Amino acid sequence: MKHPRLPSTALASAVLAAALALAAPLRAQEADAADALGAAVQAQARELALGSARPGDGLRVDVELGRLDPRLRLAPCQHVEPYLPAGYKPWGRTRIGLRCLEGAVRWNVFMPMTVKVYGVALVAATTLPAGTVLAATDVGEAEVDLAAENSPVVTDATQLVGRTLTRTIAAGEPLRQNLVRARQWFAAGETVQLIAQGPGFVVHGEGQALAAGVEGSPVRVRTESGRIVTGQPTGQRRVEVPL
């Protein structure tokens, strides 16, 4: 099963497209007007974001906007522009900016926003204690909020079988990459196979690992000629090196 990916650019555009919808004058008159402004952004951002996921992705998107600080006293504004602040993305718990572009007083405020993205992923079939070495029978499939945490969900069971859980997880809880220990393919000092691939050819060699080969972390290897190369551990005593 392919890893479900939300077109983040499309979602960002959808959320920010609320700016166009808000081009009609919005009058912010003290706290009650701030609530009205929040409601307008919420309704339009949700509608646009829900339509931003491609049908083929099999994803559902839900946008939940929080409330502006009720202590705000915003001056009247004829053009309010929503925008995504630098460093934020339309995924999980985030925030959206609102700035007045046409008014006697130019103001800029921020509103909490939660973007939930629902898709099918692997979950625990039953409660599993920390230290469990996962078997195929330990996992199932369910629709989950992919954006609930930063760590990506796992959608391929072969990436889980034989891996060890780092903490106890409840039945139905999504299996994310940070819940399983990285595999160690070899120890420091072991002889490893070096593989370099290019268009239409494969080069093999051997070398001595200068550190433990841990999945996802580059490792340095001394070749038979004494040269030091760096590659990615990809299997038992196997290192792939770039050309």
Alpha helix ranges (H) inside the chain: 8-16, 18-21, 30-50
pLDDT at 161 over 50: yes
Mean pLDDT across 79-101: 81
The class that CATH gives domain 118-179 is alpha beta
Phi-psi region of 200 (alpha: psi -120 to 50; beta: other; left: phi over 0): left
pLDDT tens, residue by residue, 26-57: 333 444 545 555 555 555 555 544 444 444 46
pLDDT tens, residue by residue, 11-24: 455 444 443 343 33
Domain boundaries, the chain: 8-117, 118-179, 184-240
Is it true that domain 184-240 has CATH number 2.30.30.760? Answer: yes
What whole-number distance in Å separates Cα of residue 143 and Cα of residue 85?
A: 30
- Lowest mean pLDDT, pick from 190-194, 195-199, 221-225: 195-199
Cα–Cα separations (whole angstroms), residue 187 to 159, 211, 213, 214, 222: 21, 7, 6, 9, 14
Nearest to 81 by CA among 129, 120, 44, 35: 44
Predicted TM-score (pTM) of the model is 0.63
Mean pLDDT across 53-65: 66
Nearest to 136 by CA among 168, 175, 167: 175
